[in-house]
């Protein structure tokens, strides 16, 4: 894999973490579990990120991801662009991009930074798009569901390139 492709995939997976903080990491852990012969997804075993390939990690992050997809629709959830949620998105964007880099046999540092920064950009872009669209009379739920689907599909695209 060329560095350019890896960096672009880091942007994608980081952006996913910006839209939904737990979706990217949940998909990464699922991809690290895939053992089907016709799929060559993320191989993280024996690396510093091998914990992401453990079934307990997958179960935990998938549960957190599903919980986030549900909780996102509730009015009590803080804005994704507040410092705390934004920091979490940065960390998970970086972690997901690092997993892609390690699976590609590359250094994780630059992809981690790209993934983290892309998560911040994705947070703001998702926030402002959702607010702009719902500000024009469109109900929030369909837009939130569209954002969920976009995050899941982009994450699946990113992890399936390996």
Residues 69-111 pLDDT 10s: 999 998 889 999 999 999 999 999 999 999 999 999 999 999 9
Contact 119, 93 (CB under 8 A): yes
For residue 160, pLDDT beyond 60: yes
For residue 21, pLDDT beyond 90: yes
Whether this model's pTM surpasses 0.75: yes
* pLDDT score recorded for residue 26: 97
Total domains, the chain: 1
For residue 147, pLDDT beyond 80: yes
For residue 66, pLDDT beyond 90: yes
Given pLDDT bands bounded at 50, 70 and 90, which one contains residue 37?
low
Classify the phi-psi angles of 137: left when phi > 0, otherwise alpha if psi is within -120 to 50, otherwise beta: left
What does the block give as tokens for 46? 């024996």
Contact 98, 158 (CB under 8 A): no
Helix (H) and strand (E) counts in the chain: 6, 0
Mean pLDDT score of the chain, rounded to an integer? 94
Given pLDDT bands bounded at 50, 70 and 90, which one contains residue 41?
confident
**Domain assignment of residue 61, given as a range:** 3-159
As a whole number, mean pLDDT of residues 8-24 equals 98
* pLDDT score recorded for residue 149: 97
* pLDDT score recorded for residue 36: 64
Given pLDDT bands bounded at 50, 70 and 90, which one contains residue 38?
low
């Amino acid at each position: 894999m060329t560095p350019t492709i890896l960096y672009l995939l880091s942007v994608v997976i980081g952006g996913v973490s910006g839209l939904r903080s737990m979706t990217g990491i949940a998909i990464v852990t699922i991809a690290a579990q895939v053992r089907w012969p016709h799929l060559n997804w993320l191989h993280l075993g024996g690396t510093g990120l091998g914990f992401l390939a453990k079934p307990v990690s997958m179960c935990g992050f998938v549960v957190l991801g599903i919980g986030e997809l549900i909780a996102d629709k509730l009015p009590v959830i803080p804005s994704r662009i507040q410092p705390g949620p934004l920091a979490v998105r940065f960390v998970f964007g970086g972690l997901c991009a690092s997993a892609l880099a390690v699976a590609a046999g590359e250094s994780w540092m630059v992809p981690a930074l790209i993934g983290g920064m892309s998560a911040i950009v994705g947070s703001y872009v998702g926030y402002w798009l959702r607010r702009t669209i719902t500000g024009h009379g469109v109900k929030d739920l369909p837009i939130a569901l569209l954002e969920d689907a976009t995050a899941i599909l982009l994450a699946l695209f990113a992890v399936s390139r390996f």
